[in-house]
Structure 1
Amino acid sequence: MRKVGNTVIAGVTVGALACGAWLLGDGTGTGPPPQPAAAEARAQGDDGRKAVPALPPSPPDRVRIPAIGVSAPLTGLGLTAGGSLDVPPAENDNLAGWYEAGTTPGETGTAIVAGHVDNAEGPAVFYRLGALRRGARIEVDRRDGGVAVFTVDRVEVYDAKEFPDEKVYGAASRPELRVITCGGGYERGTGYKGNVVVFAHLTGDLR
């Protein structure tokens, strides 16, 4: 058994996000998705934005990341048969998901949001996630009518074979958020080599 956020899950490992084998498959001419700059991965601390008190549990309905033009509804996600975090249906290019057996965004612990970087038609919801920078704002609309506001602490990219489960999914003592998509290079036939992961913490509550 292991913990993901505040939830105990059966299995040896959760591992990297399950990625498809697309790379902007329709040949639209759009280049590969941006990858995090080394400086964003090295950034530590909270950039002066203090954490705020945790919110009560409430399912999320939408995620917005203004800096990269994201405004997407959220659907519940589980785990694949192989134990990795699942992803939303690939045919919907503007749909993200949250790990619904774990922490809800805004409550104490590590909440998980994930989505595709592309699909067979071209760029998808988190195509530009790797371009996000420290200090950027992420807003999550909650079903209780509130908006949990998170500030990005750092953005990293990991090879799937060396994915740091505990660092990404491990329990936290304050409200934190991880936003995950595919990245880390691409191989035809097998797909993306790893994942881009955004680390953020709660800094606001809009009512």
Structure 2
Amino acid sequence: MAGSPRAARGKAGTALIGTVTALALCSGAWLLHSGTAERPPPQPSAAQASSPEARSAPAAAPLPPSPPDRVRAPAIGVDAPLTGLGLTRQGSLDVPPPHHDNLAGWYEAGTTPGERGTAIVAGHVDNADGPAVFYRLGALKKGQVIEVERRDGTVALFAVDAVEVYDAKAFPDEKVYGAAARAELRVITCGGAYSKRTGYQGNVVVFAHLTGTRP
């Protein structure tokens, strides 16, 4: 498995979280148990890939640090509480409890969403009972909005820059987890090819940047 370095603690560790983190979200339990592998979750098209224009789009000034409490993506019906995620004994990011289908997590030792840098949010695509919080993540489109409700009373608004899917063996750690000069957000779940033996073979990653706030 490529890209699974041990993560350091503290904000500097955000760039070092490996794909062990995301692969833990990827059992594909519902597809396996229901026999519906022919109807997998939506995957992003090539038109949603990263572009120089998106990477240079105007951004809002970063916000002071504040823990996030909720994430919303109205275009795909996501409205979910956030739980803090730490590191496992192996040094990878832990994942939300799989039995909570409408729960996402954020890397609480890293950048808070809206703060300067790269904030990480992750969630399951499904569990044994059916679709989970980020089942439709691959259906997001460039320009659509992700909202993060913060504990300081602000709602950070992020515009989607790209939605990409990566095979686990070619996961671009630095591109996904690397440091950013502006306030950016990554939202991660599993996707790509599906195997009944091992589950999903890759990850869907949404790239977004801060464009403003509202109360």
- TM-score normalised by length of structure 1: 0.90
Query: Between Structure 1 and Structure 2, which shows a larger proportion of helix residues?
Result: 2
CA distance 1:10–1:189, change in 2 (3 Å): same
**Residue 15, structure 1, aligned to residue 19, structure 2:** yes
- 1:170, distance to aligned residue in structure 2 (A): 0.5
Question: How far apart are the structure 2 equivalents of 1:29 and 1:3?
Answer: 35
CA distance 1:161–1:47, change in 2 (3 Å): closer
Who is 1:93 aligned against?
A: 101
CA distance 1:135–1:12, change in 2 (3 Å): closer
User: Percent identity over the alignment?
Assistant: 66
- 1:163, distance to aligned residue in structure 2 (A): 1.1
Tell me if the contact between 2:15 and 2:177 (Cα under 8 Å) persists in the aligned partners.
no
CA distance 1:10–1:196, change in 2 (3 Å): closer
After alignment, is 106-115 or 16-25 more displaced?
A: 16-25
Tell me if the contact between 1:130 and 1:196 (Cα under 8 Å) persists in the aligned partners.
yes
Question: How far apart are the structure 2 equivalents of 1:23 and 1:162?
Answer: 25
**Residue 139, structure 1, aligned to residue 147, structure 2:** yes
Listed one character per residue, the Cα deviations across residues 17-40 of structure 1 (whole Å, up to 9, x for unaligned) are 123422434428582101110110
Who is 1:114 aligned against?
A: 122
CA distance 1:155–1:142, change in 2 (3 Å): same
After alignment, is 101-110 or 71-80 more displaced?
A: 71-80
Gaps of 5+ in 2: none
Tell me if the contact between 2:106 and 2:122 (Cα under 8 Å) persists in the aligned partners.
yes
- 1:14, distance to aligned residue in structure 2 (A): 1.9
- TM-score normalised by length of structure 2: 0.87
Gaps of 5+ in 1: none
Question: How far apart are the structure 2 equivalents of 1:94 and 1:147?
Answer: 19
CA distance 1:35–1:105, change in 2 (3 Å): same
For residue 91 of structure 1, give the secondary structure of its aligned residue in structure 2. Answer: coil
For residue 31 of structure 2, give the secondary structure of its aligned residue in structure 1. Answer: coil
Query: Between Structure 1 and Structure 2, which shows a larger proportion of strand residues?
Result: 1
CA distance 1:162–1:142, change in 2 (3 Å): same
Computed over aligned residues only, the root mean square deviation of the Cα atoms, in angstroms, reads: 2.5
Tell me if the contact between 1:44 and 1:153 (Cα under 8 Å) persists in the aligned partners.
no
Aligned residues: 206
**Residue 168, structure 1, aligned to residue 172, structure 2:** no
What residue identity is the alignment partner of 1:9?
G
